[in-house]
């Protein structure tokens, strides 16, 4: 499979992230900021919980009828003068998009923010063929200049400070006239001016799609900056690239999903620009693209349909599960080594890249459930992570020591006498060793716990062992009282 | 009402006085209590590690031991949450699935049971002592345990101050805490900072696992806090064990 | 190539759906569409909601009693930046009783103010809906430094579903008549990409002014 991951190093990368003070301050802002905004937006809409149920049911219905929805979508796009292209895998998708760019003689391509094209590593591919790609979303633009990957599916540059951005701008934009780069305002104004020049000189605009509407053949993008609209309106060709699961049957269905999307993503009641694109410009239109193409990407998605992972295809990429994940909140997106980080990424990435490369991702979760509690389409993320753990266990992918310990413990737990005798003895010994100090700073074989934590000593003895016989088999009197 | 106490392996081995408190409180709330002797563990470590076969073996043992009572009560949101998952552990077509569903339906986390099923009022014990409450994830999100422990503590006279991050995971997460100790500890630090900011020196929770992890980390800091299971505070002071987090190794 | 891709993708989907039906049975019914209470108000509460929501999203809302007042207000807004408003030649706004003539041409990057007309306003979110066409070039909403939108008061709807209902009413024999681009614009352009500081005027206009035109 051609999906690039560096997830084997999760532990090393997360250690680095925890030591990275600027990253930690950026993540601190994320943890506080976005979850608070979401909470306020949800509190302002009494129907929000009911809408989550609707949104989940709607996604399930769509997935269950996916072939019909896709065909209807295709027919509508064609009827309105657009073209639809089907890509079974990443390689096919890259080839289709390259051929389209070549067909129109493109030298420069604008990109609206799109996670699917990140998944495809489209920029690298097009650039290798001599086509310049310019990311136009501010966050994407910044990470592109830095040759990094996005660290968040909604806020790609969330891991950076404004000083980092200033440094990248100085390197790439030059220092004409000693520009002020001390504030976020100044930096944004600078990016706006730089990107305007690109907007006016590009041949093709590539966007993603938050939804594809079967009823009208429209693709929908949801943005705050307006870059996506310039990307798809100024060049003479608009290519929308999206996963096959993004289709929805009707306009009303899009309305329902839009209600939960913005609130979950950024805590806004609505994003600034919600744009429905349908076919190329009409003959009488003064602007807009002359050609409109939709690339429908499968790349492992159909393989999830009808399996225990199907619910993951409901995902609308709002990023709420990242914003509320305490693990993501500590280590940031890059630690995951995948363009899809956090809980949703920990489910998706093994599917895209293979479990053997990514076994840490489903494991690195406390199953706290914060992700599932906020997911607007109610994906049971911990359950799906557990299913990956089961597959990893079956394939013997986990660490052998952990497996061995688990087996040992399972052996004793199924033999209560042995278990309780061992427990009584072990806890007594530990309690005795600890004595009045009450805690251990070191334990033989317990380094993983004690490196940074003390181990509070057991009280000594076991509860079960301390009980009198009556407690186990209640008296006749107790029985009659029932 | 005849109830069975599922004591949980951490309470059984590391904090038996929580088990004793559970027994006492259930009796005080008018229950006839049995403690099945052959109980060991609900199988959660296996289930969460992807070892379905072991989890199933242990699930069947739980079904055997906890049959024939009106309610199964657990002094741990995490283990009670696991019992609620036993039907899933067995799978849709398992012959004992219905039994597992019935067991899940009558299994309660203990504070919820005491408040909602027994309307239990503990005696005045708190004497205005100030504390903050850590919501353990499984209890909170799988079972909705939120108000019950607070109601009991307030009925007993304790003063509750909420911390901003009461609902954020502390980083224990079962085997997570030893598989990813650095992340686990970073999460604990955030929780401890939040508890510190709330201005209470005592942190109370409903799961011994979280408390051991937080206490062990707190002991390495300059100003360690004290930690207790909620049940410890609902029995007289002389029956309380030493608070966690006060060790001096 | 493309056609073999189509067969491959649809084939894989169909195979998966057969697997799905075997496992969980036929697909569920399509869900109903819940519309929040707040969007189900009638005028004048609906107008109040629209104004409140649009302002909360960072737009300025100005009520104007008639076309003369509208022309005057638009000219005044452009004059703040030392220019005249840019209006599409085919726009009905070209025929307003202008005291000073607006620039009747396509918008260009750097223009101070361009004016669009809305087909509808969505009170639920404080959005205006713009349909592209000769009267409403897409770029008027994105290229100028500031953007103004004229909304007839009678076009204020509750939820976006009412807009779809309107389009369905107007549907011809070929089905829905849909513009190349339909925009819902909710406040001025913004970005929070640098340190999560929300700033206006990312790529699109720095400000959005909505003129609510009383049309009796
Ligand atoms: S899994 Fe849910 S919360 Fe996470 S990005 Fe997808 S839709 Fe949003």
Assess whether chains B and C touch, using the rule of 3 or more C-beta pairs within 8 angstroms.
no
Chain A positions touching B23 (Cβ under 8 A) are 471
Mean pLDDT of C134-152: 96
CA atoms within 13 A on the CB side of C141: 38
Query: With an 8 Å Cβ cutoff, are C204 and A225 in contact?
Result: yes
B122 close to B158: Cβ distance less than 8 angstroms: no
Fill in the DSSP letter of residue C211.
Answer: E
DSSP 8-state code for residue C143: S
Query: What is d(CA B81, CA A317) in angstroms, rounded to the nearest whole number?
Result: 29
Specify the CATH architecture of the domain B2-117. 3-Layer(aba) Sandwich (3.40)
pLDDT at A455: 95
Using alpha carbons, list the distances in angstroms from residue A466 to A160, A460, B8, B12.
Answer: 56, 11, 15, 10
Q: How far apart are CA A308 and CA A304, in angstroms?
A: 8
pLDDT cut 90: percent of chain C above it: 76
Mutation target vs A (from B2, B4, B9, B16; most A CBs, 10 A cutoff): B16
CATH topology of domain B130-245: Rossmann fold (3.40.50)
Q: How far apart are CA B49 and CA B116, in angstroms?
A: 33
Best of A320, A365, A369 to mutate for ligand 1, by most ligand atoms within 8 A of CB? A320
What pTM was computed for the model? 0.95
Nearest Cβ partner for A272 among C124, C133, C190: C190
Tokens (6 digits) for C61: 């809302």
10 Å CB burial of residue B110 (0-12, 13-18, 19+) is buried
What token pair was written down for C195? 């340190």
Residues 6+ apart with CB under 8 A from A180: A186
Closest CA to A114 of A232, A234, A281: A232
Residue nearest to atom 3 of ligand 1 (CA): A375
Residue ranges of chain A that CATH labels 3.40.50.10420 = 48-299
Read out DSSP for chain B?
-EEEE---HHHHHH-HHHHHHHHHHHHHTT-EEE--TT----SHHHHHTT-HHHHHHHHHHHHHHT-S-SEEEES-HHHHHHHHTHHHHH-TT-TTHHHHHHHHHTEEEHHHIIIIIT-----S--TT-EEEEE--HIIIIIH--SHHHHHHHHHTT-EE---TTTTS--S-TTTHHHHSHHHHHHHHHHHHHHHHHHT-SEEEES-HHHHHHHHHHHTTSSS--EEEEGGGGGS-GGGPPPPBT----
Q: How many whole angstroms from A319 Cα to the centroid of ligand 1?
A: 6
Smallest CA–CA separation between C141 and chain A, in Å?
9
Top CATH class of A48-299 equals: alpha beta
Crossing angle (nearest 10°) for helices A184-199 and A162-173: 40
Whole-number pLDDT of residue A3: 79
Q: Where are the domains of chain B?
A: 2-117, 130-245
CA-wise closest residue to C123 among C32, C205, C216, C61: C61
Residue A1: the pLDDT is 47
Q: Closest ligand 1 atom, CA of A153?
A: 5
pLDDT score recorded for residue A398: 74
Nearest to C5 among A86, A225, A253 (CB): A86
How far apart CA A337 and CA C37 sit, in angstroms, is 43
| Strand-by-strand arrangement of the B107-109 sheet | B32-34, B2-5, B71-74, B107-109
- Chain C residue closest to A66 (CA)? C13
Nearest-CB residue to A454 (from B7, B184, B219) = B219
- pLDDT in the model for residue A476: 35
Touching A: C residues 68-87, CB under 8 Å:
none
User: Among A26, A65, A86, whose Cβ lies nearest the Cβ of C2?
Assistant: A86
Task: Give distance in angstroms: CA of A444 to centre of ligand 1.
Answer: 42
Give residue A152 CA to ligand 1 midpoint distance, Å: 12
Structural domains of chain C, ranges and CATH numbers in brackets = 38-213 (3.40.50.10420)
Taking CB atoms and an 8 Å limit, are C106 and A286 in contact across chains?
yes
- Whether the per-residue pLDDT at C216 is higher than 70: the answer is no
A455 touching B (Cβ < 8 Å): yes
Nearest-CA neighbor of B90 among B42, B53, B126? Answer: B53
Concatenated DSSP letters for C168-188? Answer: HHT-BTTB----SEEEEE-SS
Q: Whose CA is nearest to atom 7 of ligand 1?
A: A315
CA angle centred on B183, ends B179 and B187, rounded to 5°: 125
Interface of A with B in 309-328 (CB under 8 A): 326-327
Residues B19, B146: Cα–Cα separation, whole Å: 21
Inter-chain touch A326–B14, beta carbons under 8 Å: no
Residues of A whose CB is below 8 A from B61: 414
C161 at interface of A, judged by CB pairs closer than 8 A:
yes
Chains that touch C (3 or more CB pairs under 8 A): A
Average pLDDT over residues C130-137: 96
- Report how far residue A287's alpha carbon sits from residue A26's, in angstroms, rounded to the nearest whole number: 40
Residue nearest to atom 6 of ligand 1 (CA): A315
- Helix A66-79 to helix A48-64 angle (10° resolution) is 90
Residue length, chain C? 216
**Residue A176: both structure tokens together:** 């004409």
pLDDT < 70 stretches in chain A: 1-2, 176-177, 469-482
Taking the CA of residue C123 and the nearest CA in chain A, the distance in Å comes to 11
Residue A384, token pair as written in the block? 């799906």
With a CB cutoff of 8 Å and minimum separation 6, the contacts of C47 are: C123, C153, C156, C212
Q: Do domains B2-117 and B130-245 have the same CATH topology?
A: yes
User: Which residues of B are less than 8 Å from A11 in CB distance?
Assistant: 180
Preferred mutation among A199, A306, A309, A351 to probe C, highest tally of C CBs within 10 A: A306
Q: What is the ipTM of this complex?
A: 0.96
Could you tell me the sign of the dihedral formed by the alpha carbons of B217, B220, B222, B225, in that order? positive
The minimum-distance atom of ligand 1 relative to the CA of A342 is 4
Return d(Cα C200, Cα A381) in angstroms, integer.
35
Closest C-alpha to ligand 1, atom 8: A318
Q: Interface partners of A (3+ CB pairs, < 8 Å)?
A: B, C
CA distance A163 to chain C (A): 10
Nearest CB to C194: which of A30, A137, A162? Answer: A162
The phi, psi pair for B3, rounded to 5°, reads -120, 150
pLDDT reading at C44 higher than 90: no
Identify the chains in contact with B, defined as 3+ C-beta pairs within 8 A.
A
Can you give the pLDDT at residue A480? 34
Question: Pocket around ligand 1: residues whose beta carbon is below 6 Å from it?
Answer: A 264, 315-321, 344, 375-377, 379
What percentage of chain C has pLDDT greater than the value 70? 99
pLDDT in tens, chain B (249 residues): 999 999 999 999 999 999 999 999 999 999 999 999 999 999 999 999 999 999 999 999 999 999 999 999 999 999 999 999 999 999 999 999 999 999 999 999 999 999 999 999 998 998 889 999 999 999 999 999 999 999 999 999 999 999 999 999 999 999 999 999 999 999 999 999 999 999 999 999 999 999 999 999 999 998 899 999 999 999 999 999 999 998 887
Q: What six digits make up the tokens of A346? A: 């920990």
Task: Verify B-A touch: 3 or more CB pairs within 8 A.
Answer: yes
How many CB atoms neighbour CB A172 within 10 A?
12
DSSP of B208-248: HHHHHHHHHHHTTSSS--EEEEGGGGGS-GGGPPPPBT---
> Does residue B23 sit at the A interface (CB-CB below 8 Å)?
yes
Search chain A and give the residue with CA nearest C27: A64
- Distance (Å) from the alpha carbon of B110 to chain A's nearest alpha carbon: 17
Question: A with C: 3 or more CB pairs under 8 Å?
Answer: yes
**What DSSP line would sit under A280-325, residue for residue?**
S--TT-SSS-SEEEEEEE-TTSTTTTTSTTGGGGG-----HHHHH-
Measure the CA dihedral A451/A454/A459/A461, to 10°.
Answer: 0
**Rounded to an integer, what distance in angstroms lies between the CA atom of residue A401 and that of residue C92?**
76
Q: From chain A, pick out residues whose CB is under 8 angstroms from the CB of C205.
A: 226
């Amino acid at each position: 499979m051609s999906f690039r991951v560096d997830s084997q190093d999760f532990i090393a990368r997360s250690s680095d992230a925890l030591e990275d003070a600027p990253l930690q301050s950026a993540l601190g802002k994320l943890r506080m900021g976005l979850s608070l905004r979401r909470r306020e937006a949800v509190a302002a809409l009494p129907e929000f919980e009911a809408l989550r149920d609707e949104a989940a049911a709607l996604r399930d219905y769509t997935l269950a009828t996916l072939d019909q929805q896709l065909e209807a979508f295709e027919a509508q796009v064609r009827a309105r003068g657009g073209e639809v292209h089907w890509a079974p895998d990443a390689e096919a998708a890259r080839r289709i998009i390259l051929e389209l760019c070549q067909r129109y003689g493109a030298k420069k391509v604008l990109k609206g923010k799109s996670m699917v094209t990140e998944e495809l590593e489209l920029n690298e591919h097009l650039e290798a063929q001599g086509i310049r790609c310019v990311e136009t979303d501010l966050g994407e633009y910044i990470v592109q200049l830095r040759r990094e990957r996005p660290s968040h599916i909604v806020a790609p540059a969330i891991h950076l400070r404004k000083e980092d951005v200033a440094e990248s701008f100085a390197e790439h934009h030059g220092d004409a006239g000693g520009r002020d780069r001390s504030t976020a305002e100044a930096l944004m104004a600078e990016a706006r001016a730089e990107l305007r020049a690109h907007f006016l000189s590009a041949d093709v605009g590539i966007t993603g799609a938050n939804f594809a509407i079967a009823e009208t053949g429209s693709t929908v993008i949801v943005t705050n900056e307006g870059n996506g609209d310039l990307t798809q309106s100024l060049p003479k060709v608009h290519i929308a690239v999206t996963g096959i699961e993004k289709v929805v049957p009707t306009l009303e269905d899009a309305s329902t999903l839009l209600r939960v999307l913005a609130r979950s993503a950024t805590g806004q009641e609505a994003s600034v620009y919600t744009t429905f694109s349908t076919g190329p410009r009409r003959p009488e239109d003064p602007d807009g693209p002359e050609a409109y193409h939709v690339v429908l990407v499968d790349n492992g998605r159909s393989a999830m349909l009808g399996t225990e992972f199907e619910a993951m295809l409901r995902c609308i990429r709002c990023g709420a599960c990242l914003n509320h994940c305490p693990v993501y909140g500590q280590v940031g997106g890059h630690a995951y080594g995948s363009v899809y980080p956090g809980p949703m990424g920990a489910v998706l990435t093994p599917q895209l890249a293979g479990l053997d490369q990514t076994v840490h991702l489903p494991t690195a979760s406390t199953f706290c459930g914060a992700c599932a509690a906020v997911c607007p389409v109610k994906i049971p993320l911990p359950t799906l992570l557990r299913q990956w753990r089961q597959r990893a266990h079956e394939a013997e992918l986990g660490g052998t020591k952990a497996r061995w310990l688990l087996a040992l413990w399972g052996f004793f737990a199924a033999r209560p006498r042995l278990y309780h005798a061992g427990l009584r003895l072990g806890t007594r010994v530990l309690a005795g060793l600890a004595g009045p100090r009450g805690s251990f700073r070191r334990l033989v074989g317990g380094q993983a716990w004690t490196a940074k934590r003390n181990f509070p000593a057991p009280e000594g003895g076991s509860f079960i062992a301390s009980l009198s016989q009556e407690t186990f088999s209640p008296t006749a009197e107790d029985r009659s009282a029932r | 009402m005849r109830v069975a106490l599922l004591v949980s392996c951490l309470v059984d081995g590391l904090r038996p006085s929580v088990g004793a408190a559970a027994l006492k409180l259930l009796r005080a709330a008018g229950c006839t209590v049995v403690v099945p002797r052959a109980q060991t563990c609900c199988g959660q470590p296996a289930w969460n590690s992807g070892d379905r076969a072991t989890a199933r073996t242990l699930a069947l043992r739980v079904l055997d031991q906890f049959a024939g009572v009106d309610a199964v009560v657990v002094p741990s949101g995490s283990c009670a949450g696991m019992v609620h998952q036993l039907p899933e552990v067995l799978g849709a077509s398992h012959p004992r699935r219905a039994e597992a569903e019935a067991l899940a339906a009558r299994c309660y986390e203990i504070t919820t049971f005491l408040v909602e099923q027994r309307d239990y009022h503990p005696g005045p014990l708190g004497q205005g002592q100030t504390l903050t409450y850590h919501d353990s994830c499984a209890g909170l999100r799988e079972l909705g345990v939120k108000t019950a422990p607070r109601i009991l503590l307030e009925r007993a006279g304790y003063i509750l101050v909420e911390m901003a991050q009461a609902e954020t995971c502390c980083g224990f997460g079962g085997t997570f805490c030893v598989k990813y100790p650095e992340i686990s500890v970073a999460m604990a630090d955030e929780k401890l900072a939040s508890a510190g900011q709330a201005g209470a020196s005592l942190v109370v929770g409903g799961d011994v696992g979280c408390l051991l992890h937080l206490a062990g980390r707190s002991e390495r800091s300059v100003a360690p806090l004290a930690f207790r299971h909620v049940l410890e505070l609902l029995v007289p002071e002389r029956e309380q064990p030493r608070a966690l987090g006060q060790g001096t190794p | 190539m493309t056609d073999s891709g189509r067969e491959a993708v649809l084939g894989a989907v169909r195979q998966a759906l057969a697997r799905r039906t075997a496992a969980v049975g036929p697909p569920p019914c399509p869900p109903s569409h819940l519309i929040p209470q707040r969007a189900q108000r009638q005028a004048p509460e609906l107008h109040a909601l629209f104004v409140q929501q649009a302002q909360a999203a960072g737009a300025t809302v100005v009520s104007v009693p008639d076309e003369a007042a509208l022309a005057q207000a638009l000219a005044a807004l452009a004059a703040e930046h030392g220019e005249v408003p840019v209006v599409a030649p085919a726009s009905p706004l070209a025929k307003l009783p202008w005291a000073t003539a607006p620039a009747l041409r396509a918008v260009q990057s750097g223009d101070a103010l361009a004016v669009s007309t809305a087909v509808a306003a969505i009170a639920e979110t404080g959005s205006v809906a713009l349909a592209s066409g000769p009267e409403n070039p897409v770029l008027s909403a994105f290229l100028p430094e500031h953007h103004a939108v004229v909304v007839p008061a009678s076009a204020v709807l509750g939820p976006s579903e009412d807009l779809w209902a309107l389009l369905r009413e107007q549907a011809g024999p070929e089905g829905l008549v849909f513009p190349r681009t339909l925009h819902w614009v909710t406040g001025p352009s913004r970005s929070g990409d640098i340190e999560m500081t929300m700033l206006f005027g990312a790529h699109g206009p720095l400000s959005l002014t909505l003129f609510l035109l009383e049309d009796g």
